[in-house]
């Protein structure tokens, strides 16, 4: 009887000859006709749960990896478009102007220039669907001499004239007709808005006479009244008072109020615009379609717009239109630079969370590979002993993994591309491919290491050298970040700032891996001297590794530390952002609530009393302000200042709460004001103190009142005025200023505390004189802070961070569960033996908890300490202005709640996961072990 020879494939590739039942089915002495079962199918059938778990892990990881670049792209595009849309169509338009041609003007000439301008728009930007706005405008307006017109502060109203192409398509004629015709020497036919006509008290047929000046006298006849179809339409943006009369002020001191409006002329009135305004100007406004702009293409669009405004495109347009004085201006180049700077400032902060998720996920893949390697090590060594080559075995493992990983990865990538549509897909595919490669190679590489010849070198020394290299790299990264700070705007993502927290977490994990066995071993020895075996056995197993290892694996520690460190560091960043945003809002409002009277008015006493009585008000003060005062006697002769008159004690408490303009109220308690010559004690701001020496000064108020004041101290600004700069004089309310009656009637009420803004508005409506409630302005710090935080760029970064925290926590829990599963066979055997000796089921669960929780809880505590260290080491280099929405001092503020919340939250989740694993799988494993017997 002869034995059939082994096939070459099985001998070379390490594949088994086939299932035992297939080999035994062949008759003895006859060639076998049964072909060996395929390797991949056999392996998947033998362990379907492992295959499904591997596919699920790959699916989740690839989905997150592919979705992250897509989410970043969508957030950047949305932030760019929202940033530009908030600036309004006037700021995001290209404005071309040219001196109107002398002689006969025609709309067709304006249209030809518009067509030339549109023909030279670049491929990167397009004109908004609302279309261009063009026409001709008189260079100056004329004052109207009609005595029946309203004259606030004794100043005549002013009228501008312009021709606006296609105005009738955006307005509705209410009365009369659209302007046309008119005698060359007669009044100019114009159409006026209905709201402006009501304000000025004019109607169709009114002839508006102009004030005589150096030019020829002219008049305008109102032949029609119109109403804008939609006053918010971009068509009317940037045009001077065309939809209503505007309240304007003269540049004199004090300023005087007057009405200003504009009227439309017909196409045959174009030649009369130059005489009306001494000259006229043609204009073309081209609104750029900001909804089509993309953040990744912004540099190219910026170059095209720059060429259009002042480069070769502008030169070509002057030649094409034959207008040598054609000027093109736009705020878009500056806005593009601001948008790029904002995006680049947020990038390092937004990348910390995803980097943490990537680190934890990589650790999980390594743990999964180690678990699978431990489970199948005997199988792999048997294949190697039967003649299989390491290369052939690893190749078969690659094929086995490809069947599970590649379909799951492809499905995850397609799902990410479908859920988050964006024109850019290269980064998503590269990220998905990288994670797929890691998921595919983790176990084969681990198997290659297991099958390779064991090295007999000093492994502890190699480990020490590797740990020292990690520590040195971390120290260098932290030192460099602290030395130079965050990479400046324009340099792109700062890799050191992103890598430094992860390196700190890695160092923390290595340190804990060294300390934990020693500490837990000491606890085990202490527990061994006490009655009972559960605590001692659990701590002893926690102090050493499974499978004969001398110490526990460092990978679960690193996974938990990465999750807690990145979560705690990022949460501290967001907490500092909220704190900075609230501080900026308080400084802008002057407290938590401000009620302001209209210009030149005063707050009713009942209004301030009702607001002060609202729940939540801790401190409040009424102040009187004057922005048109002058101090005489300074270095430069006279200096314009802002005067603030308030009760010293309440005002000092408010300044201390807000954090601006703090002072000792005793400084303003001087006994001035006993006579007209006695100086009133005053606090000077630092800007004013630089211009003033010690002595007495004359203060002239905007309404003509005067005081003699003497400086008694210096303050840094005032809560009553936004901004830290400017010259400010603070005076005490009371007898010292009683000689000026207006100072006793505050025009602002400032308060600090948790006050409901709606209640404040109700109090204002209830106490305001009839018909004047709308003239009082209410501002709150909460609403201002919410407005600062409404930027899509900030919201996108915050959402990305919290999503990263959730992902890192999920992967960290998976790392803990994989560690438990890795030790499950050995633990089940131990528990089965102990059950035969009388161990109760609850004691088995206690043993599992005592074994698993020390490492998890130590890791979360260490992660909290590392997160605090990261904030202390890296915080001084971080600039949060882009996330706050306003300029704030550089640096992070270390607070315990954000870090402890992340650490305790993850510790709770880990504890629940360990309890669930012990309760669900522990009992089943023990029962299975008792039934099968000890085969080890």
> Which DSSP letter does residue 693 get?
-
How many CB atoms are located within 10 Å of the residue 379 CB?
A: 12
> Residue 656: its pLDDT value, please?
92
Q: Residue 51, SS3?
A: helix
Q: What does the alpha-carbon distance between residue 649 and residue 311 come to, in Å, rounded to a whole number?
A: 60
Residue 676 clears pLDDT 60, i.e. is over it: no
- Res. 14 pLDDT band, cuts 50 70 90: very low
Mean pLDDT of the chain: 82
Closest CA to 431 of 418, 444, 417, 419: 417
Residue 697 clears pLDDT 80, i.e. is over it: yes
Span 305-345, pLDDT tens digits: 999 998 898 999 999 988 888 999 999 999 998 888 888 77
- Res. 253 pLDDT band, cuts 50 70 90: low
Q: Average of pLDDT values for 253-270?
A: 85
> Residue 706: its pLDDT value, please?
85
For the question of whether the overall pTM of this predicted structure is more than 0.95, the answer is no
Query: CB-based burial of residue 354 (10 Å sphere; 0-12 exposed, 13-18 middle, 19+ buried)?
Result: buried
Q: What does the alpha-carbon distance between residue 553 and residue 550 come to, in Å, rounded to a whole number?
A: 9
- Using CA atoms, how far residue 556 sits from 294, 363, 366, 816, in Å, is 41, 8, 10, 6
Span 562-595, pLDDT tens digits: 888 888 888 888 888 888 888 999 988 999 999 9
Structural contact between residues 619 and 752, judged by C-beta atoms closer than 8 angstroms: yes
- Res. 650 pLDDT band, cuts 50 70 90: very high
- The torsion region of residue 205 among left (phi > 0), alpha (psi -120 to 50) and beta comes to left
Q: How many helices (H) does the chain have, and how many strands (E)? A: 27, 21
Q: What does the alpha-carbon distance between residue 6 and residue 3 come to, in Å, rounded to a whole number?
A: 9
Q: What does the alpha-carbon distance between residue 262 and residue 274 come to, in Å, rounded to a whole number?
A: 15
> Residue 26: its pLDDT value, please?
42
Residues 6 or more apart whose Cβ sits within 8 Å of residue 38: none
- Using CA atoms, how far residue 198 sits from 150, 174, 226, 745, 889, in Å, is 11, 13, 12, 34, 50
Residues 6 or more apart whose Cβ sits within 8 Å of residue 147: none
Query: CB-based burial of residue 204 (10 Å sphere; 0-12 exposed, 13-18 middle, 19+ buried)?
Result: middle
Bridge-based pairing state of the strands 257-264 and 158-164: parallel
> Which DSSP letter does residue 260 get?
E
> Residue 8: its pLDDT value, please?
37
Closest CA to 325 of 99, 638, 20: 99
> Residue 889: its pLDDT value, please?
80
> Residue 925: its pLDDT value, please?
55
Q: What does the alpha-carbon distance between residue 817 and residue 916 come to, in Å, rounded to a whole number?
A: 10
- Res. 130 pLDDT band, cuts 50 70 90: confident
> Residue 930: its pLDDT value, please?
55
Structural contact between residues 867 and 875, judged by C-beta atoms closer than 8 angstroms: no
Q: What does the alpha-carbon distance between residue 859 and residue 866 come to, in Å, rounded to a whole number?
A: 10
> Residue 440: its pLDDT value, please?
92
Q: Which structure tokens are listed for 362? A: 């990589």
Closest CA to 140 of 167, 156, 162, 164: 162
Burial code (b: 16+ CB inside 10 Å, e: under 16) for 306-345 equals bbbbeeebbeebeebbebeebbbebbbbebbeebbebbbb
> Residue 18: its pLDDT value, please?
42
Q: Which segments of 269-426 are extended strands (E)?
A: 280-287, 327-329
- Measured between its terminal Cα atoms, the distance across the chain in Å is 37
> Residue 53: its pLDDT value, please?
86
Closest CA to 186 of 269, 101, 100: 269
> Residue 21: its pLDDT value, please?
40
SS3 content of the chain, % helix, strand, coil (to 5): 55, 15, 30
Q: What does the alpha-carbon distance between residue 592 and residue 782 come to, in Å, rounded to a whole number?
A: 7
Closest CA to 90 of 232, 285, 327, 248: 285
> Residue 627: its pLDDT value, please?
86
Q: Average of pLDDT values for 14-30?
A: 42
Give 617's strand partners: 753
Span 177-221, pLDDT tens digits: 999 877 778 899 999 999 999 999 999 989 999 887 656 788 899
Residues 6 or more apart whose Cβ sits within 8 Å of residue 88: 237
Span 594-642, pLDDT tens digits: 999 887 788 998 999 999 999 999 999 999 988 888 898 888 888 888 9
- The torsion region of residue 580 among left (phi > 0), alpha (psi -120 to 50) and beta comes to alpha
Place of tokens 């201390």: 656
Specify the range with the lowest mean pLDDT, choosing from 255-269, 465-479, 687-701, 922-936: 922-936
Place of tokens 């006695």: 678
| Range ranked top by mean pLDDT from 229-233, 434-438, 540-544 | 434-438
Span 508-534, pLDDT tens digits: 888 888 887 888 778 777 777 777 777
Residue 891 clears pLDDT 90, i.e. is over it: no
> Residue 922: its pLDDT value, please?
54
Residue 74 clears pLDDT 60, i.e. is over it: yes
Determine phi and psi for 605, rounding to 5 degrees.
-55, -35
Residue 84 clears pLDDT 50, i.e. is over it: yes
Span 426-449, pLDDT tens digits: 989 999 999 999 999 998 988 888
Burial code (b: 16+ CB inside 10 Å, e: under 16) for 487-511 equals bebeeeebebbbbbbbbbbbbbbbb
Residue 724: enclosing H or E segment and its boundaries? none
> Residue 416: its pLDDT value, please?
93
């Amino acid at each position: 009887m002869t034995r059939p020879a082994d096939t070459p494939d099985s001998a070379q590739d390490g594949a088994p000859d086939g299932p035992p039942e297939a080999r035994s089915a062949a008759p003895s002495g006859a060639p076998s006709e049964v072909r060996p079962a395929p390797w991949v199918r056999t392996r998947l059938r033998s362990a379907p749960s492992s295959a499904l778990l591997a596919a699920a892990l790959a699916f989740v990881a690839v989905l997150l990896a592919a979705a992250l670049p897509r989410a970043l792209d969508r957030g950047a595009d949305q932030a760019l478009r929202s940033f530009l849309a908030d600036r309004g169509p006037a700021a995001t338009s290209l404005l071309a102007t040219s001196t109107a041609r002398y002689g006969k003007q025609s709309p067709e000439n304006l249209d030809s220039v518009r067509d030339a301008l549109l023909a030279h728009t670049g491929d990167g930007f397009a004109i908004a669907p609302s279309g261009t706005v063009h026409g001709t405008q008189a260079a100056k307006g004329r004052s109207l001499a009609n005595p029946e017109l309203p004259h606030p502060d004794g100043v005549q109203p002013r009228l501008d004239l312009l021709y606006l192409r296609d105005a009738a398509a955006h307005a509705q004629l209410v009365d009369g007709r659209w302007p046309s015709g008119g005698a060359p020497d007669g009044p100019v036919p114009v159409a006026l808005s209905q709201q402006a006509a009501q304000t000025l008290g004019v109607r169709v047929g009114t002839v508006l006479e102009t004030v005589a000046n150096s030019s020829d006298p002219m008049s305008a006849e109102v032949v029609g009244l119109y109403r804008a179809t939609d006053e918010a339409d971009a068509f009317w943006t940037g045009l001077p008072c065309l939809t209503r009369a505007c309240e304007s002020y003269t540049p004199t001191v004090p300023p005087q109020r007057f009405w200003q409006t504009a009227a439309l002329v017909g196409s045959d009135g174009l030649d009369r615009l130059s005489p009306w305004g001494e000259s006229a100007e043609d204009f073309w406004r081209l609104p750029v379609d900001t909804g089509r702009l993309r953040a990744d293409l912004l540099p190219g669009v910026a170059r095209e717009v720059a060429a259009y405004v002042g480069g070769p495109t502008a030169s070509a347009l002057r030649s094409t239109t034959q207008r040598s004085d054609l000027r093109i201006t736009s705020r878009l180049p500056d806005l593009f630079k601001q948008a790029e700077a904002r995006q680049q400032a947020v990038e390092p902060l937004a990348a910390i969370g995803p980097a943490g998720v990537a680190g934890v996920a990589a650790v999980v893949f390594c743990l999964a590979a180690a678990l699978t390697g431990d489970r199948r090590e005997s199988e792999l060594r048997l294949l190697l002993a039967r003649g299989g080559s390491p290369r052939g075995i690893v190749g078969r493992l690659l094929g086995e993994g490809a069947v599970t990983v590649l379909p799951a990865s492809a499905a995850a990538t397609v799902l990410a591309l479908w859920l988050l549509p964006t024109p850019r897909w290269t980064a998503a595919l590269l990220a998905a491919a990288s994670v797929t490669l890691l998921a595919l190679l983790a176990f084969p590489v681990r198997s290659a290491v297991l099958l390779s010849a064991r090295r007999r070198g000093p492994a502890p020394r190699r480990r020490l050298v590797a740990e020292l290299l990690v520590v040195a790299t971390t120290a260098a990264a932290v030192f460099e970040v602290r030395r130079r700070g965050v990479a400046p705007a324009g340099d792109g993502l700062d890799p050191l700032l992103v890598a430094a927290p992860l390196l700190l977490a890695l160092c923390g994990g290595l340190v804990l891996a060294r300390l934990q066995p020693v500490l837990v071993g000491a606890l085990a020895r202490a527990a061994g001297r006490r009655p009972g075996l559960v605590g001692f056995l659990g701590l002893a197993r926690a102090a050493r590794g499974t499978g004969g290892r001398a110490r526990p694996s460092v990978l679960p520690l690193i996974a938990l530390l990465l999750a807690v460190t990145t979560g705690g560091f990022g949460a501290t960043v967001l907490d500092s952002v909220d704190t900075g945003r609230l501080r900026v809002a308080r400084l802008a409002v002057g407290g938590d609530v401000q009620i302001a009277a209209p210009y030149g008015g005063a707050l009713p006493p009942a209004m301030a009393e009702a607001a002060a009585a609202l729940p939540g008000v801790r401190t409040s003060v009424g102040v009187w302000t004057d922005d048109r005062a002058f101090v005489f006697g300074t270095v430069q002769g006279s200096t314009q200042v802002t005067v603030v008159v308030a009760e010293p004690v309440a005002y000092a408490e408010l300044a201390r709460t807000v954090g601006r303009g703090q002072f000792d109220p005793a400084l303003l308690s001087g006994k001035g004001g006993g006579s007209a010559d006695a100086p009133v004690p005053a606090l000077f701001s630092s800007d004013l103190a630089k211009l003033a020496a010690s002595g007495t000064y004359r203060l002239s108020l905007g309404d003509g009142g005067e005081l003699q004041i003497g400086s008694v101290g210096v303050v840094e600004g005032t809560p009553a005025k936004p901004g830290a700069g400017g010259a400010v004089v603070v005076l005490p309310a009371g007898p010292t200023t009683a000689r000026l009656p207006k100072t006793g009637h505050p025009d602002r009420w400032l308060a600090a505390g948790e006050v409901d803004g709606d209640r404040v508005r109700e109090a204002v409506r209830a106490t305001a004189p009839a018909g004047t409630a709308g003239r009082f302005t209410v501002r709150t710090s909460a609403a201002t802070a919410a407005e600062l935080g409404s930027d899509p760029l900030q919201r996108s970064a915050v959402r990305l961070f919290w999503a990263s925290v959730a992902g890192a926590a999920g992967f960290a829990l998976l790392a803990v569960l994989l560690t438990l599963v890795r030790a499950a066979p050995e633990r089940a055997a131990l528990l089965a033996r102990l059950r035969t000796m009388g161990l109760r089921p609850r004691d088995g669960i206690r043993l599992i908890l005592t074994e698993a929780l020390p490492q998890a809880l130590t890791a979360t505590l260490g992660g909290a300490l590392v997160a605090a260290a990261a904030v202390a080491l890296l915080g001084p280099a971080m600039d949060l202005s882009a996330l706050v929405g306003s300029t704030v001092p550089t640096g992070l503020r270390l607070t315990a709640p954000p870090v402890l919340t992340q650490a305790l939250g993850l510790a709770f989740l880990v504890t629940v996961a360990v309890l669930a694993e012990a309760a669900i799988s522990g009992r089943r494993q023990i029962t299975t072990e008792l039934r099968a017997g000890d085969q080890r």
